[in-house]
């Protein structure tokens, strides 16, 4: 049961507290990739979003936070130039205003329609986070099903605290690709949230209905 970004924001934030930022940003077609403008138009009509992310400022338990939430319905939650830019701006907003940072990831990885422009977002978001980490405010990352590719390899796993939903698939490449490359059979449950917690990549596994309360407690400790 994947959740749309607006519904995820509703579940995590105090009622009526969320204010969207940077919603005017829209992806172009820098490579002239055949069919990409049509895919963008279709995704916008389907989701009501400008791209695969909803970002801004809201309150969690009365505590103001910078928040960026991805939406898998929008071209598989792929990270193109707009997603990367909005994540980076959210991180910079948190740094400038001294706010805790919370992200929610749901992505198949880089957006192939934008080629190298998509891959550059990994560096952009990582640099923004490195500056944010110089301060004292926490960064909490929530991994949902699925979180893969460049999102996993950049901002989603560079947090102070990493939370995953039960059973969420988290990794870089897919299991089948890894098996074909290594010529080895992978362990049972490989790339599940539970496997990642057992091996130290994930700190906590929390059901979505308990996430808001868990965030309130964590922000009370470290926010």
- The answer to which of 66-70, 131-135, 184-188, 218-222 has the lowest mean pLDDT is 184-188
What is the rounded CA–CA span in Å between residue 38 and residue 26?
14
In tens, the pLDDT along 205-215 reads 999 999 999 99
223, pLDDT greater than 80: no
**Which pLDDT value is given to residue 41?**
97
What is the rounded CA–CA span in Å between residue 93 and residue 47?
25
**Which pLDDT value is given to residue 185?**
79
What is the rounded CA–CA span in Å between residue 61 and residue 106?
24
- Cβ neighbours around 89 below 10 Å, total: 17
164, 170 contact by CB (below 8 A): yes
**Which pLDDT value is given to residue 222?**
85
> Which two three-digit tokens encode residue 103?
């992200």
**3-class secondary-structure state, position 140:** strand
**Which pLDDT value is given to residue 45?**
97
In tens, the pLDDT along 138-197 reads 999 999 999 999 999 999 999 999 999 999 999 987 777 777 777 777 777 778 999 999
What is the chain's length? 223
What is the rounded CA–CA span in Å between residue 173 and residue 171?
6
In tens, the pLDDT along 16-25 reads 999 999 999 9
DSSP readout, 11-79?
Answer: HHS-TT--EE-STT-----TT--TTHHHHHHHHHHHHSSSSSEEEEEEEETTEEEEEEEE-TTTGGG-B
**Which pLDDT value is given to residue 177?**
77
CA angle in degrees (0–180, nearest 5) for 28-30-5: 40
In tens, the pLDDT along 1-39 reads 889 999 999 999 999 999 999 999 999 999 999 999 999
Measured between alpha carbons, how far is residue 131 from residues 85, 116, 172, 218 in Å? 15, 23, 24, 22
**Which pLDDT value is given to residue 132?**
98
Beta-strand runs (E) in 89-138: 101-107
Query: Mean pLDDT, to the nearest integer, of 56-81?
Result: 98
**Which pLDDT value is given to residue 92?**
98
Average pLDDT taken over every residue of the chain: 95
Exposure string of 169-194, with b = 16+ CB inside 10 Å and e = fewer, is bbbbebeeeeeeeeeeeeeeeebbbe
Strand partners, 104: 69, 142
Task: State percent of the chain over pLDDT 70.
Answer: 99
């Amino acid at each position: 049961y994947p959740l749309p970004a607006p519904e995820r924001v509703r579940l995590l934030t105090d009622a009526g507290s969320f204010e969207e930022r940077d919603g005017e940003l829209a992806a172009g077609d820098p490579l002239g990739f055949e069919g990409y403008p049509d895919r963008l138009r279709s995704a916008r009509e389907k989701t009501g979003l400008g791209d695969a992310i909803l970002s801004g400022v809201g309150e969690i338990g009365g505590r103001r936070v910078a928040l960026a939430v991805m939406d898998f319905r929008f071209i598989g939650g792929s990270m193109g130039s707009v997603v990367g830019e909005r994540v980076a701006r959210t991180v910079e907003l948190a740094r400038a205003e001294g706010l805790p940072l919370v992200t929610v990831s749901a992505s198949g990885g880089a957006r192939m329609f934008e080629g190298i422009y998509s891959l550059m977002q990994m560096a952009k978001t990582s640099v923004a986070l490195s500056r944010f980490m110089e301060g004292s405010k926490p960064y909490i990352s929530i991994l949902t099903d699925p979180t893969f590719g460049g999102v996993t390899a950049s901002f989603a796993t560079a947090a102070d605290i990493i939370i995953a939903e039960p059973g969420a698939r988290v990794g870089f490449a897919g299991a089948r690709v890894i098996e074909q490359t290594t010529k080895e059979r992978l362990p049972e449950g490989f790339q599940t949230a539970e496997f990642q917690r057992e091996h130290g990549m994930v700190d906590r596994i929390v059901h979505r209905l308990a996430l808001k309360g868990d965030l309130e407690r964590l922000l009370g400790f470290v926010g």
